Amino acid sequence: MSTYEPVLLARIHKEQSHTLDSYLADGGYESFKKALGMTPVEVTTLVKDSGLRGRGGAGFPTGLKWTFLPKDHPGPIYLAVNGDESEPGTFNNRILLEKDPHQVLEGIAISCYAIRSNTAYLYLRYEYGAAWRALQKAVAECYEKGIFGKNVFGSGFDLDVRLHRGAAAYICGEETGLIESLEGKRAWPRIKPPFPAIEGLFRKPTIVNNIETMACVTQILKRGIDWFKSIGVPPDPNNPRDAGSYGPKLYCLSGHVNKPGCYEVPLGITARQLIQEYGGGVPGGRGIKAVVPGGISMGFLAPSELDTPLDFNGPGKVGCLGLGTAAVVVIDDQTSMVDVVYNTARFFAHESCGQCTPCREGTNWMQRILHRIRSGQGRMEDLDLLLEVSGGIGMMPGTTICGLADGAGWPVKNAIRKFRSEFEEYIQSGRSTIKPCELIGAH
Amino acid sequence: MPTVYVNDQPVELKPDERLNCIQAAQKAGVEIPHYCWHPSLSVVASCRMCLVEVGDKKPDGTVAMVPKVVPGCQTPVKDGTVIVTNSPKVQAAQRGTLEYLLLNHPLDCPVCDQAGECGLQDFSFKYGRAYSRLAEPKNQKKDKPYIGDQITLFTDRCIMCTRCVRFTREISGTAELQVVSRGSGEEIDIFPGKPCNNKLAGNVVDLCPVGALCSKDFLYEQRVWWLKGKNSVCAGCSTGCSIRVDQNKDVVYRLKPRSNPLAQGEFMCDEGRFGWKYIHSEHRLKFPMQKLPAGITPVSWPQILPALRQALTEAAKRAPEKLAVVLTPFMTVEEAYLLCKYLKSLSPAARLLMTPAPVVGADDSYPKDLRGQAAPQPKFTIRAEKAPNRAGVELVLHHFGGTVESLDSILAQVSQGTLEAVYLTAGSPEGWITDEQAKSLAKAKLVIVQDLLDSPALPWATFVLPGTSWAERDGTFVNHAGLAQAIHRGLRSPGDAWPDGRICFELAGRTGIFHAPTIRQEIAGEIPALAALIVGDLGDEGIFLKSAGETASAADSETQVPVTGGSRS
Ligand SMILES: Cc1cc2nc3c(=O)[nH]c(=O)nc-3n(C[C@H](O)[C@H](O)[C@H](O)COP(=O)(O)O)c2cc1C
Ligand code: SF4
Ligand code: SF4
Ligand code: SF4
Ligand code: FES
């Protein structure tokens, strides 16, 4: 595995990698020109045939999503690029945007051409100041050089790319929350149907794609389907609905590892390989208690599950929600799972948009139960109550509008199922791990 | 016929009927509890109270169920849709949602205005669990006593259904209300310094399914289970909103709009909602009075009616063309008919007049856009014509050959002596005659005033007949669009005042008691334009006078479910 040569991150260590000159020197925007020489349908088909699946969390096949747009629509059609990247532990979009924004912008240009959109909105997480500045500069350069604007490269294709700085909330990353926010409203996810491909931004057909997905599109145009399919994991023959996990992936490794960072490796690497071969193991040689496979909304891998391949199917097979954003967080054996889960619960209670009753109240309730447990006031029956609440909120049981609630429930459910004895011991001991500083501003 | 199965019970839909699960279940008589959904507002499917299981019945009879619960409000039904509202899975979901809603709810029902008609109480009782599993202290949110001049918010009772917010965005268009904060810290609020005082604002209190938004006018006045409601029609303008008058011991406490797709839709305006206070005015006329040599004296009805009949008969004999009855657009169709018919029986030459309806400004339509302009397709209109029954009274008047004339013109005729005897009916809550105008009455030989409030005309009256407000009588009002709706007697009148219909009925010397449906049928036989009244009982929604087609649609409107609000003019 370690022989894999990074492609998406190939340029990030270069001097001035974020400038147009540097990008052009490396053959930049040639893929866009190539795409302009094809028909939009050909580009869409190419992306579809590559097997590219969205990198934003849900892993939906990108080309397939594009084909959901209404045929012969008079327009406008929009591309909304999701750079809200708020899943804890995730920072691959940030690196791409700060260090190689043109790779992303080229993917945006190609995608716009493929879906017949003349306007793309790039929705950037508010906190990403450096990325914001890099993007502003990069977009200005593109307009200057005629890469964006009217009749790009003399092809007759018009393209506008607009930057939008986000509203600083996790829910702005949910695709319809993002659309609402772009329209200037509260990022309250919309009920579906209609799906954005039919009725999205400004009530027009809209495709929402992640930043990394866009970078992959650039590379697929540049290197071709065969290259992309040579990397990653083919579909599971026993699962007719599996679309495979092809291509490179940016894994964000953090937590208790010696070398945290963003590593580009083929999809399907196991958590253990990632931690040992790339992360340099756990500090002090301590053991691993749990690993978050892809952002905290995905749940936890137990130590016995570390050989799970981190592709689109693997985490699901061991009870996790999915691959998510492939943000791998390592938790060592000195850390209390009660504290970890409290922290995730606090995050989601804070980020729930508050629209759906079960999510609004359920996330807050879980946080408060866990707070009580952590203050030494836990009861054994709290664990079943937590399981009931965490299992009852979300799109999967059908009780909420968006997936935030599923993501809020999953780590709680996972942790109690996989580490129940630790919770029981904690409750029985009556001890408290609340630090005085946490009480400031607590409930 | 498309067929939907609600808990195994087949329900037939009309071919073009587009319903959601809640509406389809309603047709089957099955309640799907819901909060955020409202027929006149957009669907947000966020409260998650209406969760049901749905499936699809295939032609071969097999049923494929969706593997999770879905919100009934967001799920349209079509031929073969199967809805299950009582499975263990649905019941668990309902219990779950209610537990969440009650988690931080203060449960201060004993001091809450909504108790007794509260969606949270009702659904918790039917679908919830009887105890809370919350071991932590509840969230506390500060009350907001000033949401608007008429509205107060008990913030912690709010269940965040956003009906109120959507109302101000979608129906009034004024968008004063919003959600602030996030997650369980969310609250309803106004923008600083921009209170919710639009002319439809009171509706947010009705829309609020719990006791969060309360009407300051009604606050702590009554427990709702003491109130007795009677269906009626607002007399504020010619829109003729269907309403309910809630009273206890003959005191009105509030008016509530009733849903009527034929009239205004779901709502009513604040002018009407709060404009009933004159019903309990201290200036109400309570006893019949007659000018005797000793001065104006209270007398009993059995005394005054024969005296009045005699005075009118004499006036008709003396100079019938100088005798006139002056009708107003505040009367019911029945009263106008009885009076006209009686007068014409005294002498065909006697005159019938009517004062025009007061007009204030222009029609005021909603929703408003940012610039305050009404949307091209209004959802609610407050009409400039500030009387409930111009259309109805005019139909009667024209049938009997009467004319509409201004009060000034009528008084001028009195001054000139072309009118000697005038029977003035009033009923307007605003003053209808000034001191100066009333002086013209000095020349008249006979002045009869039938009114509910004291007025400058009284000193000149020979006979004063204490009538009643619309809330105390039975009869028919015809709105701007020709919709005839029934008003009903909701409370007893003060003192010895009589409902105007009874006064007219007994004055005409008819036997029996005044019974509006019977008079309606009589009118229908006599006045072709009012033939539609032949049904006698106008039902809750009323009937259109105009064409048979419209009448038919009104008749089966029972089964119509309003999808959009607003008037159908
Ligand atoms: C609560 C929530 C938060 C999300 N946040 C993000 C995000 O920050 N960035 C992102 O790309 N996708 C996010 N998603 C996924 C998006 O809804 C959407 O699936 C994705 O942007 C589609 O892009 P892709 O197909 O390229 O992955 C989020 C989803 C949910 C339910
Ligand atoms: S699930 Fe939570 S975050 Fe998503 S729409 Fe509902 S309340 Fe908002
Ligand atoms: S809103 Fe309903 S449940 Fe809440 S206090 Fe009032 S009556 Fe009780
Ligand atoms: S105040 Fe009432 S209507 Fe408004 S959101 Fe709260 S519960 Fe709903
Ligand atoms: S009524 Fe359906 S979710 Fe609120």
What pLDDT was estimated at residue B370?
A: 83
Write the pLDDT tens digit of every residue in A109-142: 999 999 999 999 999 999 999 999 999 999 999 9
The answer on B333 and B408 residing in a single domain is yes
Cα distances (Å, whole numbers) of residue B227 to B117, B222, B254, B315, B421: 11, 8, 9, 47, 44
Selecting from A186, A357, A385 the residue whose C-beta is nearest the C-beta of B101 gives: A357
Find the CATH number of the domain harbouring B48: 3.10.20.740
* Ligand that lies nearest to the alpha carbon of residue B224, given by its number in the listed order: 3
What pLDDT was estimated at residue B565?
A: 38
Contacts of B320 (CB under 8 A, 6+ apart): B346, B347, B348, B349, B350
Chain A residue numbers with beta carbons less than 8 Å from the beta carbon of B92 are: 392
Write the pLDDT tens digit of every residue in A172-231: 999 999 999 999 999 999 999 999 999 999 999 999 999 999 999 999 999 999 999 999
- The mean of the pLDDT values for chain A is 96
| A402 within ligand 1 shell (Cβ under 6 A) | yes
pLDDT value at A366 more than 60: yes
The answer on B450 and B370 residing in a single domain is yes
Calculate the dihedral angle through the C-alpha atoms of A185, A188, A193, A195, rounding to the nearest 10 degrees. Answer: 60
Q: How many helices (H) and strands (E) does chain A have?
A: 17, 10
Contacts of A142 (CB under 8 A, 6+ apart): A20, A102, A105, A148, A161
The answer on B154 and B91 residing in a single domain is no
The mean pLDDT value for A425-443 works out to 81
**Angle at which helices A129-144 and A92-99 cross, to 10°:** 40
Q: Which atom of ligand 3 is nearest to the CA of B107?
A: 5
A&B contacts, CB < 8 Å: 96
Contact A350 B182 (CB under 8 A): yes
Scan for tokens 């009012």, then name that residue: B530
Chain A residue numbers with beta carbons less than 8 Å from the beta carbon of B93 are: 392, 397-399
Residue B122 lies in a domain: no
> Beta partners for A61?
A53
Chain A residue numbers with beta carbons less than 8 Å from the beta carbon of B135 are: 369, 372, 377, 379
* A357 in contact with chain B, both atoms CB, cutoff 8 A: yes
For B96, the enclosing helix (H) or strand (E) is helix B88-103
Q: How far is B373 from chain A (nearest CA, A)?
A: 22
Chain A residue numbers with beta carbons less than 8 Å from the beta carbon of B69 are: 397-399
What pLDDT was estimated at residue A321?
A: 96
Find the CATH number of the domain harbouring B273: 3.30.70.20
Among candidates A401, A325, A323, which has minimal Cα distance to A356? Answer: A401
The answer on B332 and B196 residing in a single domain is no
Write down how long chain B is. 569
Mapped to the 3 state alphabet, what secondary structure does B311-355 carry? HHHHHHHHCHHHEEEEECCCCCHHHHHHHHHHHHHHCCCCEEEEC
**Interface subset of A 61-100, CB within 8 angstroms of B:** none
Write the pLDDT tens digit of every residue in A71-85: 999 989 999 999 999
Strands of B38-176, DSSP E: 51-57, 63-65, 70-71, 81-84, 151-153
pTM of the full structure: 0.94
Residue B563 lies in a domain: no
Cα distances (Å, whole numbers) of residue B402 to B90, B337, B399, B405: 64, 12, 8, 10
Question: What is the distance between the alpha carbons of residues A174 and A176, in angstroms, rounded to a whole number?
Answer: 6
Q: In what order do the strands lie in the sheet with A261-266?
A: A261-266, A248-255, A327-332, A288-292
The answer on B165 and B47 residing in a single domain is no
Q: Is the peptide bond before B456 cis (omega within 30 degrees of 0)?
A: no
Residue B561 lies in a domain: no
The answer on B450 and B301 residing in a single domain is yes
| CB burial readout A194-205, b (16+ within 10 A) else e | ebbbbbbbeebb
Question: And the tokens for B427?
Answer: 């009923």
The answer on B271 and B300 residing in a single domain is no
| CB burial readout A66-90, b (16+ within 10 A) else e | beebeeeeeeebbbbbbbbbbbbbb
For B39, the domain range is 3-99
* A401 in contact with chain B, both atoms CB, cutoff 8 A: yes
The answer on B271 and B344 residing in a single domain is no
Ligand 3: which residue has its CA nearest to atom 7? B115
Single-letter amino acid code for the residue at B154: F
Domain boundary among B47, B74, B99: B99
The answer on B401 and B529 residing in a single domain is yes
* B48 in contact with chain A, both atoms CB, cutoff 8 A: yes
* A400 in contact with chain B, both atoms CB, cutoff 8 A: yes
Residue B111 lies in a domain: no
Write the pLDDT tens digit of every residue in A140-165: 999 999 999 999 999 999 999 999 99
Q: How far is the CA of A7 from the centre of ligand 1 (A)?
A: 23
Low-confidence ranges of chain B (pLDDT < 70): 547-569
Question: And the tokens for B491?
Answer: 């409370």
Contact between A92 and A260 (Cβ < 8 Å): no
**Backbone angles phi and psi of A309, in degrees to 5:** -70, 135
Find the CATH number of the domain harbouring B303: 3.40.50.740
The answer on B328 and B201 residing in a single domain is no
Domain boundary among B46, B72, B99: B99
* A192 in contact with chain B, both atoms CB, cutoff 8 A: no
| CB burial readout B268-304, b (16+ within 10 A) else e | bbbbbbbbbeebeeeebbebbbbbeeeeeeebebeeb
Write the pLDDT tens digit of every residue in B158-203: 999 999 999 999 999 999 999 999 999 999 999 999 999 999 999 9
Question: And the tokens for B428?
Answer: 């307007």
Contact between B474 and B522 (Cβ < 8 Å): no
Residue B110 lies in a domain: no
The answer on B371 and B305 residing in a single domain is yes
* B181 in contact with chain A, both atoms CB, cutoff 8 A: yes
Q: How far is the CA of A150 from the centre of ligand 1 (A)?
A: 30
Contact between B234 and B243 (Cβ < 8 Å): yes
Selecting from B70, B97, B185 the residue whose C-beta is nearest the C-beta of A357 gives: B97
Contact between B473 and B235 (Cβ < 8 Å): no
Residue B219 lies in a domain: yes
Contact A369 B135 (CB under 8 A): yes
Task: Kindly tell me the sign of the dihedral angle through the C-alpha atoms of B76, B82, B84, B89.
Answer: negative
| A210 within ligand 1 shell (Cβ under 6 A) | yes
Q: Which atom of ligand 1 is nearest to the CA of A125?
A: 8
Contact A356 B48 (CB under 8 A): yes
Q: How far is B181 from chain A (nearest CA, A)?
A: 9
* A356 in contact with chain B, both atoms CB, cutoff 8 A: yes
Residue B268 lies in a domain: yes
Contact between A320 and A290 (Cβ < 8 Å): no
What pLDDT was estimated at residue A392?
A: 96
Contact B97 A358 (CB under 8 A): yes
What pLDDT was estimated at residue A435?
A: 83
Write the pLDDT tens digit of every residue in B24-82: 999 999 999 999 999 999 999 999 999 999 999 998 989 999 999 999 999 999 999 99
The answer on B188 and B75 residing in a single domain is no
Q: How many domains does chain B have?
A: 3
Chain A residue numbers with beta carbons less than 8 Å from the beta carbon of B137 are: 443
Q: How far is the CA of B118 from the centre of ligand 2 (A)?
A: 25
Contact A368 B136 (CB under 8 A): yes
Write the pLDDT tens digit of every residue in B212-270: 999 999 999 999 999 999 999 999 999 999 999 999 999 999 999 999 999 999 999 99
Ligand 4: which residue has its CA nearest to atom 8? B161
Please report the ipTM that was assigned to this predicted complex: 0.94
Instruction: Domains for chain A: give ranges and CATH numbers.
Output: 20-230 (3.40.50.11540), 245-332 (3.10.20.600), 337-440 (1.20.1440.230)
Residue B317 lies in a domain: yes
Domain boundary among B82, B99, B116: B99
Chain B residue numbers with beta carbons less than 8 Å from the beta carbon of A353 are: 182-183
Among candidates A350, A354, A331, A358, which has minimal Cα distance to A418? Answer: A331
